[in-house]
Amino acid sequence: MVTLEDVAKQAGVSLATASRVLNGSTRQVGAALRARVEQAADELGYRANIAAQTLARGASNVIGIVVHDLTDPYFAALADGAMRAAATEGLLVMVGTTHRDPEQEIAYVATLNAQRVRAVLLVGSRVADPAVTGRLRDELARYQAGGGRAACVGQDLLGVDTVAPANRQGAAELARALADLGHTRFAVLAGPPHLVTAADRCAGFVEALEELGLPAPQVIHGPFDRDGGYAAATQAGDATCVFAVNDVMAVGALAAYRERGVRVPDDVSVAGFDDIVTLRDHVPALTTVRLPLKDMGARALELALGEGDPVVVEQVAGEVVLRESVRRMT
């Protein structure tokens, strides 16, 4: 590989001058030398070694993003938002997928720490297990002790800047909207009990129904994905309206109903949560709670990059979007 020294030699200047010309500096370099250096670099096809720069400068321009699964459009949208924001800041992005394995998440934070990345973004829902969360917090603390910055999208469980969707409120609003339509018997496809996002959405929904004086819904736990929604839907009893705690599960539920000849929304209404863009053409169109995922990703990056010493927790409100997957009763 061509090094800066090669360029300097070819241009007949010192290393320092070559560095100042090519890799940015506050110092001026005379026009003549500048031209010679640039020409030499061009002829030789010089590319600065970023590892060396990072080492010398003591700061890198890489950020790390940790998500569960890139093929899940929810994470893809969040990651995309963060990546676009990173690009405008001239930052490079390292992406890690954990496939929901907390150990992987911890390992990834350690690695990003080793990379001395400028910031790390933890995206997605975490389990409430204090042992695992504790170790993740330790690893993050270690990273932050070394000057690293971190932010997270999801719950405020980690003691870092957080962009938190207002899961409880969103679910509660949805519940009220559905009750407004005349529904009284509900089921919740609630996802895993220990997953905080899922639990919050479920709780918000249940509480809102309680406040309205409606009977408690049937709560069915299961995996947080499409197949989980599918399976849970087959267990739902005589509810007139089913709330899946995320859109992907709702789609699974719709598939289950379709296969069994249960008409949506005629026989049963279905609602989800997130408003995944890829699903906007789904039939029937899904009633859901819209979250501004891209903005949330971008905002998380902003928080991570910011100086703010006190830990910031931003609630992001969702917006209930009624579509054809629910019907008015009576």
The site for DNA (CB under 7 A) is made up of: 1, 3-5, 12-17, 19-20, 22-25, 27-30, 32-34, 46-49, 52-53, 55-58
- Nearer Cβ to its own copies, position 111 or 218? 111
Q: 63 Cβ partners below 8 Å, 6+ apart?
A: 86, 91, 92, 93, 94, 117, 118, 119, 120, 121, 301, 304
CA–CA gap between residue 185 and residue 239 (Å, rounded) = 5
Q: Which residues pair with 220 in a beta bridge?
A: 189
User: What is the DSSP annotation of 210-277?
Assistant: HHTTPPPPEEEE--SSHHHHHHHHHH--S-SEEEESSHHHHHHHHHHHHHHT--TTTT-EEE-SB--G
Within residues 243-302, the interface with its own copies by CB under 8 A covers 251-252, 254-255, 258, 277-279, 281-283
Residue 122: Cβ-neighbour burial (10 angstroms; 0-12, 13-18, 19+):
buried
Residue 63 pairs with which residues in a beta bridge? Answer: 93, 119
Among positions 226, 232, 274, 288, the unique one binding its own copies when judged by CB under 8 A: 226
- By rule CB under 8 A, what string of x and - marks binding of each residue 124-153 to its own copies? ------------------x--xxx------
Q: Which of 245, 318, 297 is nearest to 66 (CA)?
A: 297
CB of 143 to DNA, least distance (A): 14
Task: Select from DNA, its own copies, none the partner in contact with residue 95, using the beta carbon and a kind-dependent cut-off of 5 to 8 Å.
Answer: its own copies
User: Total residues at the site for its own copies (CB under 8 A)?
Assistant: 52
For the bound state, the minimum distance from the C-beta of residue 114 to DNA, rounded and expressed in Å, comes to: 8
Residue 45 binds which of its own copies, DNA, none (CB < 5-8 A, kind-dependent): its own copies
Q: Considering the complex, what minimum distance in angstroms separates the CB of residue 34 from DNA?
A: 7
Which residues, in sequence order, are CB contacts of 228 under 8 Å at separation 6+?
A: 189, 191, 222, 249, 252
Q: Is 169 exposed, middle or buried (0-12, 13-18, 19+ CB in 10 A)?
A: middle
80 binding its own copies? (CB under 8 A): yes
For position 313 contacting its own copies by CB under 8 A, the verdict is no
Site mask, its own copies, residues 95-124, x = CB under 8 A? xxx------------xx-xxxx--------
Q: Could you check whether the bond before residue 102 is cis, i.e. omega within 30 degrees of 0?
A: no
Can residue 1 be called a binding residue for its own copies (CB under 8 A)? yes
Least separation in angstroms between CB 300 and its own copies: 16
Residues that bind its own copies (CB under 8 A): 1-2, 45, 47-52, 54-55, 60, 62, 69-71, 73, 76-77, 79-80, 83-84, 87, 92-97, 110-111, 113-116, 142, 145-147, 226, 251-252, 254-255, 258, 277-279, 281-283
